[in-house]
Structure 1
Amino acid sequence: MLNQLRPFASQTAKPITKKLAQKNITPDQLSITSLIAAILSAIAYIFGNLIIAGTLVLINSILDLLDGELARTLGKTGRQGDFTDHIIDRYADIFILAGITLSPYAPTYLGILAITAVLMTSYLGTQSQAVGIGRVYAGLLGRANRLLLIISTTYLTAIYPHKIMGYTLIGWLLILFIILGTITIIQRTNQIKTRLR
């Protein structure tokens, strides 16, 4: 869904990436910093500091956008960079969701199911490349949507940490991830099978 806004985001990021390029900052440096932000957000979730956690996830999201744009600005796009970016993104996803799972605001079993759903959607997106049909972004639970939901729900839970029908807002977010993730897995699987025919 938010992938449709990529062209706008790219245009917005260009002035920033040009300045970063002038300061000899590399895409890899941004990627590593984004991963550090994800790790620190996990720690913040575990200790129940939602404002810091949400802000660190926001920083991770911004840097994740900028590293790809900086690579394009520097003319350093390629399969190796794409491969490295995917690895860092998956680690970031795991750390963020693991932090949420181990936080005081979510049941562990929901977190495990949500992590499974998220990793499977990402796996199918890249597995389509492995079978030669290009990356598949279809579905309701793309990474941009997911990060936006995590950030907004984290801040909302900081404002209203109480349970609604047995779960906090973050708990309900994990349930949403499980549902949307399952739907996205079905959507991507069907799209890949259709392209392979």
Structure 2
Amino acid sequence: MVVDSMRAKVDPMLLPLAMKFSRFSPDFISYLAIIFAALTGIFYFLSTPYFLLGAFISLVLSSLFDALDGRVARLRKISSKRGDLLDHVFDRYADIFIILGITFSIYGNVALGLAAIVGVMLTSYMGTQSQALGLKRNYSGILGRGDRLVFMLVAIILQIIITGSVYVSGLRLDVSTVLLIWFAIGGNITAVMRFLDSYRSLS
């Protein structure tokens, strides 16, 4: 929520970069975003320090291109519902690719990974469903997409530095599993918060 609330301040900062990329189609930039997201998942799955560094770099690039495609479309005055649909579908696949990479890495946990995916998907669904019902797109809650990005970037760096783990009630905990737990809990809490916010607005 903290990062998502800064969108208005970040947008003008991306304008010069969007102008440089304006010669490319927004759809092409969206494809770059999903490709780098898939690479992030693959690099995290491989999990050596060098691959984790690669995951960090590819995640930054994926997020950058994801932020640019819509801005380039608006800059070129070619924004469309089709482009918005493509962007949202790619965003969900990007989330899944990255979380699956973490889940099936040597640091991951399948049950926690599935719970994290449920939380992330429901968070996004509740945000867009609000708009589908005639309200504004809902960015409320404690764990928006921008927040997840920051947590993932920090987690990758910490995972490179902190390679050990501890066991709590038979569950192995390391940086990556803690990240999955937070995505599962924070994501589902955010989904509920968005549901309640939209529900109250409709009543």
Residue 190 (structure 1) aligns with:
196
1:172 aligns to 2:178 (yes or no): yes
Q: Which residue of 1 aligns with 2:124?
A: 122
| 1:78 CA displacement | 2.7
SS of aligned partner of 2:88: helix
Deviation at 1:172? 0.4
Secondary structure of 1:175's match? helix
Q: 1:80 — aligned with what?
A: 82
Question: Could you say what secondary structure the match of 1:112 adopts?
Answer: helix
When the two structures are aligned, how many residues end up with a matched partner?
195
Structure 2: gaps spanning 5 or more residues: none
**Aligned with residue 158 of structure 1, among 157, 160, 170:** 160
C-alpha RMSD over aligned residues: 1.2
TM-score, structure 1 normalization = 0.94
Shift of 1:40: 1.1
Distance in 1 between residues matched to 2:196 and 2:8, nearest whole Å: 27
Alignment pair present for 1:7 and 2:8? yes
Q: Deviations over 1:32-73 (max 9, x none)?
A: 001000111111111112111121111111111111211121
Q: Deviations over 1:56-107 (max 9, x none)?
A: 1111111111112111211122322211110110110110111111111111
Percent identity of equivalent pairs: 37
Contact 2:118–2:188 (CA under 8 A) maintained in structure 1? no
Structure 2 partner of 1:33: 32
Query: Which residue is 1:52 aligned to?
Result: 54
> Are 1:17 and 2:18 an aligned pair?
yes
Runs in 1 of length 4+ with deviation above 3 angstroms? none
Shift of 1:8: 2.1
Preserved CA contact (<8 Å) 1:34 1:59: yes
* Structure 1: runs of 5+ lacking an equivalent: none
Retained in 2: the 8 A contact 1:106–1:167?
no
What is the TM-score when the length of structure 2 is the normalising length? 0.92
Paired AA for residue 29 in structure 2: L
- More moved, 108-117 vs 165-174: 165-174
Deviations 1:110-130 (A, max 9, x none): 111101110011111111122
Task: Give the Cα–Cα distance (whole angstroms) in 1 for the partners of residues 70 and 157 of structure 2.
Answer: 27
Q: Is the Cα contact below 8 Å between 1:14 and 1:69 reproduced in 2? A: yes
- Counterpart position of 1:144: 146
